[in-house]
Structure 1
Amino acid sequence: MKQFDADQCNRALAFRTLIPALREAFDKGASVPLRHTHTIESQGVQGTTLIMPAWNEAGFFGVKTINIFPANGAQNLPGLHATYVLYSATTGVPLALIDGDAITARRTAGAAALGADFLARKDARRLLVLGAGRIAALVPGAMRAVRDIEHVDIWNPRPVRAAVLAESLRKQGIPATPLEGGLDALEAAVRQADIISCATLAEAPLIQRDWLQPGAHLDLIGSFKPTMTEAAPECFLDTEVYVDTDEAALKSGDLLNAFATGRFATSDIRATLEQLCRGQRPGRTDDQAITVFKAVGSALEDLTAAVQVFQKG
C-alpha cells in the first residue's frame, strides 16, 4: 500500500487540474452514502468525527475519517484532522493511505471555486475571505483559477491570524490585506467584495443580508452541521441559492435556520453542483443577482482528489 504525505498531495492537487477533475466527477457521478456523524467527548473537550465513504465505476473506493475540534485554535492546532484510505472497488485491496487534511482542504477550496465558476460574475475582481485556517488559506488560489482576482481581504475574529495569512499570500504573489477591527470592518469589506468566502467554524451568523450588494456571490464552506452557521437566515431570502449536494439541506445550520423562518424551503434551492456540471440547471444569469453557494462537502470530492494523488504518485 502506497503512502502519500501532505507535500505530495499538494503537488498533485494543483487547482488548474483539480477543479476540472471535480467538474468531471460531478458530471459522471459516484455512489456516495450519507456520511456517519459522531460526537466525541473526552476530558471535557468535545469534537465531531465524520466517516465519509464513496466509490465509482472507475474501480476506486475510498473512506475518509475527519475529526473536527473547534477548540484546537486555543492550542494553536488546526481544527480539522483527517486520514484517507483508498481501496480497489472490485477487490477491496488497500491501495493507498493519504493525508486527509491536504485532501480535505484542497477539495473544499476547489469545490468552492467550481461553484464560483458557475455563480460569480465573470468580472469579479475583489475577494473577501472569512477565516484564516488551512482551508481559508487555499481559497484565494482556488478562486484565482476561475476568476481574475486582483485583491483579497482577510477577516478573522483573531486579527493576528488574518495578518499572518495575508503576509503568506503576499509572499505567493497574491495581493492581500488583513482587516483590523470587528464587525464594522467586516461589514465594510462585505459591501465592497465581489465574492465573499466564509471558511470558519462559526456557530453564530457573521454575514448579514443587508451587507450583500447586487451582483455579489456568497460562498459558505465552513459550517457543516446544524449547530454551525456563517450567514444570517435572511441571506437566503430573495437571493439565488445553490448547494454542493442535497445533503446540505439536511446538515447545514445555515440552511436549517433559513428553513425555520418559513420563508425559504428546499424547493427554493436552484441547483446542486451535479446539476450545474451536467448542464441540467443554469448558474448565474443576471449580473445584479445575489448568489449563495452552501457546501457541506462530499465524499465524491474526496475520492476524486485521492484518485488524482494516487495516479500521479
Structure 2
Amino acid sequence: MLVLHETETAEALKWDELTNAIERMFRSHCVTPVRHHHEVEVPGEAAATLLLMPAWVPGDYIGIKLLSVFPDNHLRGLPAIYGSYLLSSGKTGKMLAVVDGGELTARRTAATSALAAGYLAREDASQLLVVGTGRLSLNLIQAHSTIRPIKSVRIWGRNPANAEKTAADAREMGFDATACTDLEAATREADIISCATLSNEPLVHGAWLKPGAHLDLIGAFKPTMRESDDEAVRRATIFVDTREGAMSEAGDILQPLKAGIIRETDIKADLFDLAAGRHRGRTANHEITLFKSVGAALEDLAGAILAYEAVTARFKSET
C-alpha cells in the first residue's frame, strides 16, 4: 500500500493537472453520498468539526476522507485541519493508498476555486485579493495564477503580522505580493477576491465589489458561518460547487435565503452544470460573479486518484 505524506502529496498534485482532474470528475458518474458532519466539543475552546466524506466511481476507485477542523489550533501554532484520505480499488476493495488529508484538502480546494474562476472571472483579471492567512492562502495564489494573468496579490488577515508573513512567502515564490490592512480599499480594487477564513460574520461587503469582480467564498462551511453580506449575494450572479452542499451547509447562501434576500432559483448553476456546458458562466464583463464552495467528496477522490496514479507511474518508470 502506498503512503503519501504531505510533501509527496503536494509534489504529485500539479495545479493544472489537478484542476483538470477535478473538472473531469464533475463530468463523470462519480457517486457522492451526503457527507457525515459532526460537531466535537473541545472544553474551553471553539468546537471542532469531524468530517467523513465518501465517494466512488463504480468499478474504478473508492475513497473516503477523514478530516478534523479545530478552529483554535492557531493559538497553538498548529494547522486548523488534519486528516487522511483512504483510496481503495473499486473492483476488489483492496486498499491502495493513504494520502495526506490536509494537503489534499488544501490543494483540491484551491484548484476547485481556480476551476470556477475559469468560468466566472474575467479573462483579464489580474488583481487578486486573498482574505485569510491560513494554509490555503498560498495555494489560492498559485492556483488562481494558473487560470488568470495575476499580476499583483494583496493579502488581508485579522493579524497583520500573519498577513505580512504570507506576503513574504508569496514573494519568495515569485509573486508580486503585499499585505494590506484596509480590506475595503483592497476589495474595491480587486478583480478576484478569494476568502478562506473561519469567520462567523461577514468580512466582504457587496457595496465594495466593483463591476466585473469575482468573489470566491470557500472558508465558511457551516450554516452559522459567513464571509459575505446580503448585499454581495444581492448584487452578484450566484454559483456554487454543488447545490446539495450549498443548500445544507453554506451560510453565505442559507442566511440570505432565510432572510428572503435571495431565492433558491437565484443560484444559476453549480460545477456540474458548468463542467457539462449547461451554463456558460460569466455572461458580461461588468457582471459581478460569486462562487460559494463548501467542498465535495468527488474533488478529494479526483485528487487522490491523480496522486496515486502519478506516483505509481513514476515508480514503474524508475524500475
Q: Which residue does the alignment assign to 1:162?
A: 163
How does the TM-score come out when normalised to structure 1? Answer: 0.97
CA distance in 1, matches of 2:104, 2:39: 22
How does the TM-score come out when normalised to structure 2? Answer: 0.95
Amino acid at match of 1:105: A
How far has the Cα of 1:40 moved from its partner? 0.8
How far has the Cα of 1:33 moved from its partner? 0.6
Q: Which residue does the alignment assign to 2:39?
A: 39
CA distance in 2, matches of 1:238, 1:168: 34
Contact 2:132-2:195 within 8 A present in 1 as well: yes
How far has the Cα of 1:5 moved from its partner? 0.7
- 1:187-245 Cα offsets, whole Å, 9 max, x none, are 00000000000011111100111001110000001011112110012211132000000
How far has the Cα of 1:58 moved from its partner? 5.5
CA distance in 2, matches of 1:120, 1:24: 20
How far has the Cα of 1:47 moved from its partner? 0.3
Contact 1:233-1:255 within 8 A present in 2 as well: no
SS at match of 1:200: coil
CA distance in 2, matches of 1:70, 1:11: 27
Equivalent positions of 1:55-66 (< 5 A) are: 55-57=56-58, 59-66=60-67
Contact 1:234-1:258 within 8 A present in 2 as well: no
CA distance in 2, matches of 1:276, 1:90: 30
Same amino acid, percent of matched pairs: 42
Amino acid at match of 2:301: L
SS at match of 2:220: coil
Q: Which residue does the alignment assign to 1:3?
A: 3
How far has the Cα of 1:74 moved from its partner? 1.2
Among residues 193, 202, 208, which one is paired with 2:205 in the alignment?
A: 208
Q: Which residue does the alignment assign to 1:28?
A: 28
How far has the Cα of 1:261 moved from its partner? 2.1
Among residues 237, 251, 255, which one is paired with 2:253 in the alignment?
A: 255
Amino acid at match of 1:75: R
CA distance in 1, matches of 2:133, 2:42: 27
Equivalent positions of 1:275-294 (< 5 A) are: 275-294=273-292
Contact 2:3-2:99 within 8 A present in 1 as well: yes
CA distance in 1, matches of 2:272, 2:87: 23
SS at match of 2:154: strand
CA distance in 2, matches of 1:290, 1:118: 13
Q: Which residue does the alignment assign to 1:298?
A: 296
Which sections of structure 2, spanning at least 5 residues, go unmatched?
Answer: 312-319
Equivalent positions of 1:177-256 (< 5 A) are: 177-180=178-181, 185-246=182-243, 247-256=245-254
SS at match of 1:218: strand
Q: Which residue does the alignment assign to 1:130?
A: 131
| Aligned-pair Cα RMSD in Å | 1.0
Contact 1:233-1:261 within 8 A present in 2 as well: no
Contact 1:218-1:292 within 8 A present in 2 as well: yes
Contact 2:218-2:292 within 8 A present in 1 as well: yes
CA distance in 2, matches of 1:124, 1:63: 35
SS at match of 2:65: strand
CA distance in 2, matches of 1:277, 1:121: 17
Aligned residues between the structures: 309
CA distance in 1, matches of 2:218, 2:196: 5
Q: Which residue does the alignment assign to 1:103?
A: 104
CA distance in 2, matches of 1:285, 1:96: 42
How far has the Cα of 1:44 moved from its partner? 3.1
Which sections of structure 1, spanning at least 5 residues, go unmatched?
Answer: none
